[in-house]
Amino acid sequence: MLLVMSQRPRNPYRPGVGQRPAVLAGRDTELRRFDATLRAAPEIPANVRVEGLRGVGKSVLLAEFQERARQSDWATSLLEFEPRHNTDTAILAVVGSLADTAVRDMSVAARARHALGRVAGALRAVGFEIGEVTARFDPTLALPGQVELAVRLLAAVNAALAAGKHGYILLLDEAQVLHDETERDGEHPLSLLIAAVAAIQKTGAPIGLVLCGLPSLATNLLRARTYTERMFRGERVESLDRAGAEYAFVGPLAGMGIAATPALVDQVLNTVEGYPYFIQLWGAELWEAARDAGTTEFTVELLTAIGPEIYRRLDIDFYDPRVEALRPAEQDLLLSAATCPYPPLVVADLQGATDKSAANVNVLLGRMANAGVIYRLRKGQYAYTAPGFADYLRRRAERVRRT
Q: How confident is the model at residue 121 (pLDDT cuts 50, 70, 90)?
A: very low
Cis status of the peptide bond prior to 276, with omega within 30 of 0: no
Strand partners, 8: none
Confidence (pLDDT) at 256:
93
Strand partners, 128: 135
Residues 15-62: tens digit of each pLDDT: 988 889 999 999 999 999 999 999 999 999 999 999 999 999 999 999
Between residues 27 and 1, which one has the greater pLDDT? 27
Residues 318-366: tens digit of each pLDDT: 999 999 999 999 999 999 999 999 999 999 999 999 999 999 999 999 9
Confidence (pLDDT) at 133:
54
Strand pairing category for 374-378 and 381-384: antiparallel
Strand partners, 76: 169
Strand pairing category for 374-378 and 127-130: unpaired
E strands, 200-272, where?
207-213, 233-236, 259-260
**Sign (positive/negative) of CA torsion 32, 35, 40, 41?**
positive
Give the 3-state secondary structure of the chain: CECCHHHCCCCCCCCCCCCCCCCCCCCHHHHHHHHHHHHHCCCCCCEEEEECCCCCCHHHHHHHHHHHHHHCCCEEEEEECCHHHCCHHHHHHHHHHHHHHHHHHCCCHHHHHHHHHHHHCCCCCCEEEECCEEEECCCCCCCCCHHHHHHHHHHHHHHHHHCCCCCEEEEEECHHHCCCCCCCCCCCHHHHHHHHHHHHHCCCCCEEEEEEECCCHHHHHHHHCCCHHHHCEEEECCCCCHHHHHHHHHHHHCCCCCEECHHHHHHHHHHHCCCHHHHHHHHHHHHHHHHHHCECEECHHHHHHHHHHHHHHHHHHHHHHHHHCCCHHHHHHHHHHCCCCCCCEEHHHHHHHCCCCHHHHHHHHHHHHHCCCEEEEECCEEEECCCCHHHHHHHHHHHHHHC
Between residues 400 and 176, which one has the greater pLDDT? 176
Q: How confident is the model at residue 134 (pLDDT cuts 50, 70, 90)?
A: low
What percent of the chain has a predicted confidence (pLDDT) above 70?
89
Average pLDDT in the 98-126 region? 58
CA distance 47 to 217: 14
**Sign (positive/negative) of CA torsion 13, 17, 21, 26?**
positive
E strands, 55-122, where?
75-80
Nearest residue to 384 via CA among 361, 362, 397, 368: 368
Phi, psi dihedrals of residue 75, rounded to the nearest 5°: -80, 140
Confidence (pLDDT) at 364:
97
Confidence (pLDDT) at 6:
47
What percent of the chain has a predicted confidence (pLDDT) above 90?
78
Ordered alpha helix ranges (H), 123-163 = 146-162
Which domains occur in the chain, in start order? 28-236 (3.40.50.300), 241-322 (1.10.8), 327-402 (1.10.10.10)
CA distance 5 to 300: 22
CA distance 290 to 331: 37
If you average pLDDT over every residue of the chain, what do you get? 90
CA distance 141 to 288: 59
Residues 304-321: tens digit of each pLDDT: 999 999 999 999 999 999
E strands, 21-97, where?
47-51, 75-80
Q: How confident is the model at residue 185 (pLDDT cuts 50, 70, 90)?
A: confident
Contact (Cβ atoms closer than 8 angstroms) between residue 257 and residue 3: yes
